[in-house]
Copies of this chain bind each other. A is one copy, B any other.
Amino acid sequence: MDLKQISEMQIKLDQLHGFPVSFLDQHEKYAQLTKDLVGLFGEIGEFSNIVKKVNIKLDRPLEYELNITDSEKLLREELVDSLIYIIRIGAILGVDLEDEMLKKMQLNKSRYAQLRRE
């Protein structure tokens, strides 16, 4: 399943749940985008808290109790939640994330190719 289809599924689900992705004017649109950005901060913050704990565990294995395998499961979940917000914000901005990623990767590829020639 491609990124475009996943985005469309997610957006339909959001609309069902009452989260709008189309707006009457710019004020409404940016008010929603700002709220979703705060939502994204929240998810990345939760991800960060788990990374913080894993780093403490790796620094002080005997003093600090933590099961890293369990933590990784949580990290994966928070990362997916972050991705969902990125896709929502992309829908608000009308970004074709798949298309833009391919363009960006193409751009980076030629940049690096040039660097290797230098």
A46 vs chain B, min Cβ distance (A): 6
- Report the interface size class on chain A: 35 or more
Determine whether the beta carbon of B13 is less than 8 Å from that of A39. no
Number of copies: 4
* Cβ < 8 Å to B, chain A residues 33-83: 33-35, 37-49, 51-52, 54-55, 58, 60, 68, 72, 75-77, 79-83
The majority secondary structure among interface residues of chain A is: helix
Q: Which residues of B contact A112 (CB under 8 A)?
A: 13, 16-17
CA distance A35 to B89 in the complex (A): 16
* Cβ < 8 Å to B, chain A residues 10-37: 10, 13, 16-18, 26-27, 30-31, 33-35, 37
Top 9 A-B pairs ranked by shortest CB distance?
A45-B45, A42-B49, A41-B48, A42-B48, A2-B2, A80-B100, A76-B95, A3-B3, A38-B48
